Structure 1
Amino acid sequence: MEKPYVRFGIIGAGTIADFHAEAIRSVPDARLAAVCDTDAERAAAFARKHGIECHTDLADFLARAPIDAVTVATPTGLHGAVAIPAARAGKHVLCEKPLDVTAEKSQAIIDACKEAGVLLVPVFQYRFGGGAIRLKRAIEAGRFGRLLHLSGRIKWWRSQDYYDSGAWRGTWALDGGGCLMNQSIHTIDLMLHFGGRPEQVFGYTATRTHTGIEVEDCACAVLRFASGAMGVIESSTACAPGFPARIEVSGERGTAALEGDALTEWRFADTDAGDEAILAGIGEKKLGSGASDPKAINVEGHRLQIADMTRAILAGGQPAIDGAEAKIPVELICGIYTSMQTGRPYIFAR
């Protein structure tokens, strides 16, 4: 008798779809079964490459494809339009970041999945990196004491050709924003993962170097967490040649920093039995970086997250990341945009 497995279908056959296909294939209890894309030529090419079913109509795909779960890999502004029907069709949903372009649209996806009784898993693969896991455990163990400052620096670079390569890129309707929403959301999610609930944010945004886009390529924001900790976010897709994203967490008893998925600082007032092994691995990277090229990431983070989702589906449990968490970084980023427009801090509801 064959061991049970989860059958995945991918919606959207763009750049990130190949990463998902490879990641799904690398999980023993997962199978890639089908793809759906409104571009018939692109869908057919992807299906041939991966030896899977091809669909161009979403309703047909959800009704007929042999799938248990979908990967949503469309432009952000279309996430709800495909994730909500998928949930209503009884399919578990793995959704690329960000969940949608606004907090309200993100909530609609969360509600649809809850009502349908299916899992919603947002793609935040950097939470599965070894450095992020160790840093979160240290916070939970109280090694930092009271958290004081969290900073996120995402000084990346994207060419003009990157924005010109797709009509949806750099638009409010389909990209949801610029360097903050598209590129920096992973770092912002980790800051919230470490720092907890945000209280208010004030920010500036600008388009400094790229042409023909509606959204920002530079941004800076200050943030206050409900705990009293303070934060700073620097974000850009205009900083040549592009540098690994960096997060630094400081408390009254210690400081740690991540560059990409690698710990680069680990200093505490009190030592711990595991510190020597952690310090021996300082700088070790496993997940890749999209600092200069969005294709320069590897599939390891996606593999870890898909393996976690597959386990949850087969065991009837919960995934490591609750779908409702995906709304918070979207609201924070939209709060920065609102702050820029009003000249006032955006205050989160209690």
Structure 2
Amino acid sequence: MQRVRFGVIGVGGMGVAHATLIQRTEETELTAVCSASEERTRQVAGRFGVPGFVDYRELLRSGLVDAVLIATPHPSHAEIAQCAFEHRVHVLCEKPLAVSISEGRRMVDSARQYGLLLGAMLQMRTERRFRIARRAVEEGIIGNLLRAHTIATWCRNEAYYRSAAWRGTWAGEGGGVLINQAPHHLDIFCWLAGMPCRVTAQVRTRYHQIEVEDEAFALLEYPNGAHGYLYVNVNEMPPTRRFEIVGEGGKVVVDGEQVTVTRIVPSLPQYLQASQDMWELPATEPVDMDVPEEEEGHEAVIRNFARVLLGLEERLVAPGEEALWSLELANAIVLSAKRQKSVTLPLDGAEYDALLAELRSTSKAKPVVQETRRTDPSIARAIRMEPDAQE
């Protein structure tokens, strides 16, 4: 069968994982890799047996690729994607799509202008627990939204932030937990609950010697009057990963690996008006969602991207337009916190750009960095990478 020729730009930890999966996927062929480090380029190109490039522009001019997977530090995503589009190359981009909503919107506009695919590596959408939750929302079981709630926490030590010069800085990373760890969870939250219209937030740096936030929380307002709450940090053990989407007709809870869907009978508005017994409660019933097992994870996103490009599937798992949701919410939280005010969505991109420029203007390089390039062990296990290939 025809295969999509992929190049991977950025072959640190995640880039190597992606290269491994591209070689493993039937619809794709790894044809080039790129790193700004000559030594890293030689090492990874030799491992995979493909041409290596130090300058991504040379890779894009080479004619070796139909698409690229961008896995470089966040602030470079938009520039590389724009160059790819100008060379008529499709783009699958690691999260976050960009650092600012302005950059993200320009990426989406450029892909549309050139008639090219722009997808995001938001692989949590492929997991069955979230597909069940999404189906419950789509089928109207939840009904009119009442509230939406999510908590997502991780644990990251100082060694993690010392592993690369760009980590934990406004200039190099463009944000903290909101832009690095949380995009997948913000994406699922928006995928299930929709976009809020107003955000009131706080961010803090509680435990780490970094410039950016290691904790963030926000109160959200939705167009229909519903409210939401969001909390993320990198300061907890054991981690919590919980979503609650509550409506007039039912409730979806995803807690860790478990998902429950509950229907209210009758719906809340009907019950509140019709019940004659002051202590009577509406009945609830569990809903068994008929959602089949399917391929999950990074490989599923890569395969889907290739199949859409080959005309074998119609829709991307995470189109660039939808990847803007989590980015806009992250930007709104930072803007609200730093300016100490509520902000409305759609977000004023120019206002956030001005704030980011201020934060970057005082950003300082790390005095000591222990450079380490290693795939997240949990991801390495999930995709069955050999230990010597994880470095």
Matched, 1:256 2:269: no
Aligned to 1:307: 303
Corresponding pairs, count: 328
Root-mean-square deviation (CA, aligned residues, Å) is: 2.3
Cα shift readout 1:70-99 (whole Å, capped 9, x = no counterpart): 000000001112111011111110001111
- 2:285, 2:48 → 1: CA distance? 47
- Give yes or no for contact 2:204–2:216 (8 Å, CA) kept in 1: yes
- 1:79, 1:349 → 2: CA distance? 22
Give me the identity figure in percent.
34
Aligned to 2:84: 86
Structure 1 residues not aligned, in runs of 5+: 288-299
Aligned to 1:123: 121
Structure-2 change in CA distance of 1:347 and 1:67 (3 Å): same
User: What's the TM-score once normalised by structure 1's chain length?
Assistant: 0.88
Structure-2 change in CA distance of 1:104 and 1:145 (3 Å): same
- Give yes or no for contact 2:23–2:30 (8 Å, CA) kept in 1: yes
- 1:272, 1:312 → 2: CA distance? 38
Structure-2 change in CA distance of 1:276 and 1:331 (3 Å): closer
- 1:34, 1:312 → 2: CA distance? 21
- 2:172, 2:324 → 1: CA distance? 17
- 2:240, 2:339 → 1: CA distance? 31
- 1:268, 1:105 → 2: CA distance? 41
- 1:52, 1:343 → 2: CA distance? 50
Structure-2 change in CA distance of 1:277 and 1:137 (3 Å): closer
Aligned to 1:49: 47
Instruction: Please report how far the alpha carbon of residue 242 of structure 1 lies from its aligned counterpart in structure 2 after TM superposition.
Output: 4.0
Structure 2 residues not aligned, in runs of 5+: 266-283, 348-391
Structure-2 change in CA distance of 1:274 and 1:33 (3 Å): farther
Cα shift readout 1:149-204 (whole Å, capped 9, x = no counterpart): 11111121101100011010011233221111111111111111111132011101
Q: How does 1:31-110 map to 2 (within 5 A)?
A: 31-110=29-108
Q: How does 1:251-290 map to 2 (within 5 A)?
A: 251-260=247-256, 262-269=257-264, 275=288
Q: How does 1:102-181 map to 2 (within 5 A)?
A: 102-181=100-179
Aligned to 2:329: 332
Cα shift readout 1:244-303 (whole Å, capped 9, x = no counterpart): 42212112222222245x33333223589971877xx9xx9x99xxxxxxxxxxxx4111
- Give yes or no for contact 1:200–1:225 (8 Å, CA) kept in 2: yes
Aligned-partner SS, 1:269 = strand
Matched, 1:185 2:186: no
User: Of the candidates 332, 346, 349, which is equivalent to residue 346 of structure 2?
Assistant: 349
- Give yes or no for contact 2:74–2:96 (8 Å, CA) kept in 1: yes
Instruction: Please report how far the alpha carbon of residue 334 of structure 1 lies from its aligned counterpart in structure 2 after TM superposition.
Output: 1.0
Aligned-partner SS, 1:198 = coil
- Give yes or no for contact 2:252–2:261 (8 Å, CA) kept in 1: yes
- Give yes or no for contact 1:195–1:225 (8 Å, CA) kept in 2: no
- Give yes or no for contact 2:242–2:253 (8 Å, CA) kept in 1: yes
Amino acid in structure 1 at the alignment position of 2:56? L
Aligned-partner SS, 2:36 = coil
